[in-house]
Amino acid sequence: MAQRVALITGGARGIGRGIALDLASQKWAVAICYRTSDEDAANTTKAITDQGGQALSIRCDVSDPLAAREMAEQVEQTWGKIDALINGAGPYHRVNLFKETSDGWNEMFTNNLHPIFYLAQAVAPGMKARKYGRIISFSMANADKMEAQPQVTAHYIAKVGVLILTRTLAKMLAPDGITVNAISPGFINSGSAPPEELEGMAKKVPAGYIGEVKDTVSAVRYLLSDDARYITGANIHVCGGWGI
């Protein structure tokens, strides 16, 4: 098989980094997009090459449609194609709905939902021309339940939107050999939460423990494989039973 090329937003740390290193171990060429941490990006880039993969690190604000498109073009110019787009960037904040600001409200959609649309538009033409592609985006484990969320309202609505956009893209791109799927993590130890907070979260998980980055990476690996060639529009929960 010819070398595959992946573009991963939020690829410098956490789950995105785990995916990047896993693909590198399979000799993929991996472009990671990051917004702020040059040090994290440099460390991940080195780790990719140490794993035997080719690496490209791009600082980009994917909430800017022009910047997102130019980033995709840079990856295609470097390696000639993009086989897999993995939308891993997705910040959130916790605030009561009636204390939310208009900027905070808009930020959740600008950073969690809109970039998936921008980047899908950017990568789809090349994928369609080659009759091959994989697009994976991240939602959250209980988003498909559409529950009331007074403390993370905008973020939650954006993650519901990710599922709708995923299914729409899946239907539109299926005739061209492109699959589009979502992964919905629950509580994952990605390095962003303190141990005491994770311990409290574990009590809410039916499985009795917090997931690891490798659990999410395994789901991504499957959706990128030829074994998943007929799976599109799916939403895979990686949650140990929480949120379903």
Say how many domains are in the chain. Answer: 1
The residue ranking higher by pLDDT, 96 or 52, is 96
Question: 152 in a domain, yes or no?
Answer: no
Question: 120 in a domain, yes or no?
Answer: yes
Model pLDDT, residue 193: 75
Q: How far is 97 from 89, CA to CA, in rounded Å? A: 23
In this predicted structure, the answer to whether residue 51 has a pLDDT above a threshold of 90 is no
Q: How confident is the model at residue 90 (pLDDT cuts 50, 70, 90)?
A: confident
| CATH code, domain with 176 | 3.40.50.720
Token output for 94? 């916790």
Question: 122 in a domain, yes or no?
Answer: yes
Q: How confident is the model at residue 91 (pLDDT cuts 50, 70, 90)?
A: confident
Catalytic residue among 156, 209, 222, 230: 156
pTM above 0.85, yes or no: yes
- 118 classed as catalytic: no
- Listed in sequence order, the residues at least 6 apart from 2 whose beta carbon sits closer than 8 Å to its beta carbon are none
